Amino acid sequence: MKTVFKILGWLVLGAAALLGVFLLYTTLADYSPQQETLVSESAQPTRFPIGQEVNVMSWNLGYCGLSSEMDFFYDGGKSVRPTEETVRRNISAMLEILARHKAFDFFLLQEVDLDSKRSYHSDQMDSIGRILPEHKAFFGKNYEVAFVPTPPIDPMGKVLSGIVTYSKAVPSLSTRYQYPGQYAWPKGLFLLDRCFVLNRYPTSDGKELLVINTHNSAYDDGGQRRAQMEMLKTLLLAEHQAGNYVIAGGDWNQCPPGFDGGYPSNIFDKDDLIHLESDYPAPGWRWFYDDSKPSNRRVDIPYDPSQTRTTTIDFFLLSPNVEGISVEVLDLEFAYSDHQPVLMKARLGQVEPETSDSIATSPSNE
Q: Is 36-361 in CATH node 3.20.20.10? A: no
What is the pLDDT, as a whole number, of residue 107?
99
Task: Please give the share of the chain, as a percent, with pLDDT higher than 90.
Answer: 78
> Which of 322, 249, 263 has its CA nearest to residue 291?
263
What is the pLDDT, as a whole number, of residue 315?
98
Helices assigned H by DSSP within 2-52: 2-28
> Which of 13, 11, 133, 149 has its CA nearest to residue 80?
149
User: Element (H or E) spanning 327, and its range?
Assistant: strand 322-329
What is the pLDDT, as a whole number, of residue 27?
54
Contact 182, 77 (CB under 8 A): no
- List, for residues 125-153, the tens digit of each pLDDT value: 999 999 999 999 999 999 999 999 988 88
Distance CA 308, CA 77 (A): 12
Computed over every residue of the chain, the mean pLDDT equals: 90
Contact 284, 312 (CB under 8 A): no
* Residue at 210: amino acid letter: L
What is the pLDDT, as a whole number, of residue 310?
98
Distance CA 219, CA 182 (A): 12
Helix (H, G, I), strand (E, B) or coil at 4: helix
* Residue at 13: amino acid letter: L
Distance CA 309, CA 259 (A): 15
What is the pLDDT, as a whole number, of residue 227?
96
Contact 109, 77 (CB under 8 A): no
Looking at the chain, the number of H-run helices and the number of E-run strands are 4, 17
Distance CA 302, CA 67 (A): 8
- List, for residues 100-124, the tens digit of each pLDDT value: 999 999 999 999 999 999 999 999 9
Of residues 366 and 283, more confidence is placed in: 283
Q: Determine the average pLDDT of the residues in 88-99.
A: 98
Examine the pLDDT at 89 and tell me if it is beyond 70: yes
Other beta carbons within 10 Å of 134:
9
User: Element (H or E) spanning 98, and its range?
Assistant: helix 84-100
Examine the pLDDT at 353 and tell me if it is beyond 60: no
**Region of poorest pLDDT, from 6-15, 138-147, 250-259, 277-286:** 6-15
Contact 361, 288 (CB under 8 A): yes
Q: Fill in the DSSP letter of residue 342.
A: E
What is the pLDDT, as a whole number, of residue 32?
76
What's the half-sphere exposure (Cβ side, CA atoms, 13 Å) at 189?
A: 18
Q: Determine the average pLDDT of the residues in 68-83.
A: 92
Q: Determine the average pLDDT of the residues in 304-316.
A: 97
Distance CA 17, CA 158 (A): 22
Sign of CA dihedral 74, 75, 80, 83: negative
- List, for residues 146-194, the tens digit of each pLDDT value: 999 988 888 999 999 999 999 999 999 999 999 997 766 555 555 789 9
- List, for residues 13-65, the tens digit of each pLDDT value: 665 655 555 455 455 555 678 999 999 999 999 999 999 999 999 999 999 99
Contact 56, 167 (CB under 8 A): no
Helix (H, G, I), strand (E, B) or coil at 53: strand
What is the pLDDT, as a whole number, of residue 356?
45
Non-local (6+) Cβ contacts of 268 within 8 A are: 260, 261, 262, 294, 309, 310, 311
pLDDT band at 259 (very low <50, low <70, confident <90, very high): very high
Helix (H, G, I), strand (E, B) or coil at 173: strand
> Which of 200, 199, 201, 198 has its CA nearest to residue 178?
198
pLDDT band at 300 (very low <50, low <70, confident <90, very high): very high
Q: What pTM value is reported for the model?
A: 0.93
Examine the pLDDT at 307 and tell me if it is beyond 90: yes
Contact 88, 78 (CB under 8 A): no
Examine the pLDDT at 10 and tell me if it is beyond 80: no
- List, for residues 192-213, the tens digit of each pLDDT value: 899 999 999 999 999 999 999 9
Sign of CA dihedral 32, 35, 41, 47: positive
What is the pLDDT, as a whole number, of residue 44?
98
Contact 112, 337 (CB under 8 A): no
Edge-to-edge strand ranges of the sheet holding 157-167: 136-148, 157-167, 106-113, 53-60, 342-348, 322-329
